[in-house]
């Protein structure tokens, strides 16, 4: 596997279910991101992890819970979601530098989530 992978690619869940999205990067990067893309809206940044520490939580509801056990893996735990949470969830990674700014982010293919 190369680049950034995401599983599952498609997920349908009920509002009472608990599920997790997984992201893995094989690029040796230190920063990982979760984005949400809803229909006809821009990509919205949700969470940022840099060197396994969460550095950004963009006012995301607590029914979304991220986890970054190491620099290569990022999870998004989902529970009691709402139908309006249906969207494409994209993971990205970047080099990540302490005290400096990255330029380029590499994206995974996304998980298409449908909440019934």
Least distance in angstroms from the C-beta of 46 to other proteins: 11
> What is d(CA 108, CA 46) in angstroms, rounded to the nearest whole number?
15
The torsion angle over the Cα atoms of residues 68, 101, 40 and 85, rounded to 10 degrees, is 20
61 binds other proteins (CB under 8 A): no
Please, which residue, 3 or 14, has the CB nearer to other proteins?
A: 3
Least distance in angstroms from the C-beta of 42 to other proteins: 5
> What is d(CA 106, CA 116) in angstroms, rounded to the nearest whole number?
30
Which chain residues interact with other proteins by CB under 8 A? 4, 6, 31, 40-43, 45, 48, 55-56, 90, 92, 94, 100-110
């Amino acid at each position: 596997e190369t680049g950034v992978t995401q599983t599952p690619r498609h997920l349908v869940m009920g509002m009472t279910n608990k599920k997790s999205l997984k992201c893995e990067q094989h690029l040796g990067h230190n920063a990982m991101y979760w984005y949400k893309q809803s229909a006809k809206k821009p990509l919205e940044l949700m969470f940022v992890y840099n060197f396994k520490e969460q550095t950004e939580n963009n006012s995301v509801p607590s029914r979304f819970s991220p986890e970054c056990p190491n620099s290569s893996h990022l999870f998004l735990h989902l529970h009691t979601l709402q139908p309006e949470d249906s969207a494409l969830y994209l993971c990205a990674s970047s080099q990540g530098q302490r005290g400096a700014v990255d330029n380029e982010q590499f994206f995974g293919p996304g998980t298409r989530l449908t909440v019934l």
